């Protein structure tokens, strides 16, 4: 089984992502991405996150990789 790279969040990043995950005025895609990164930071693997959120593991993996390589999700 392939293990996805771990995500370490700063307090500021976690706070921002939690706000985005609860937001009702942000685009749904931003809320979805915040959920992906928060669950990845909690140590969940891509397949489990995908199952919980009803998406493909490829999509989860893509956003995990983008978060690790880019400063933001928007």
- Write the DSSP assignment of 9-60 as a string of letters: --HHHHHHHHHHHH-SSS-HHHHHHHHHHHHHHTT--HHHHHHHHTS-HHHH
The pLDDT of residue 69 is 81
The pLDDT of residue 70 is 59
The pLDDT of residue 2 is 73
pTM of this structure: 0.87
Each domain of the chain, given as residue ranges in start order, spans 11-69
Give the chain's residues under pLDDT 50: none
The pLDDT of residue 17 is 96
Torsion of CA 19, 64, 4, 57, to 10 degrees: 100
The pLDDT of residue 73 is 54
pLDDT tens digit sequence for 7-17: 999 999 999 99
Taking CA atoms, 73 is separated from 1, 2, 16, 53, 62, in Å, by 27, 24, 11, 17, 11
């Amino acid at each position: 089984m392939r293990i996805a790279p771990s995500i370490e969040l700063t307090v500021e990043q976690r706070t921002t992502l939690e706000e985005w995950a609860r937001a009702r005025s942000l685009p749904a895609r931003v809320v979805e991405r915040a959920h992906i990164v928060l669950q990845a930071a909690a140590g969940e693997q891509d397949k489990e996150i995908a199952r919980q959120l009803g998406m493909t593991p490829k999509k989860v993996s893509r956003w995990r990789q983008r978060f690790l390589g880019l400063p933001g999700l928007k």
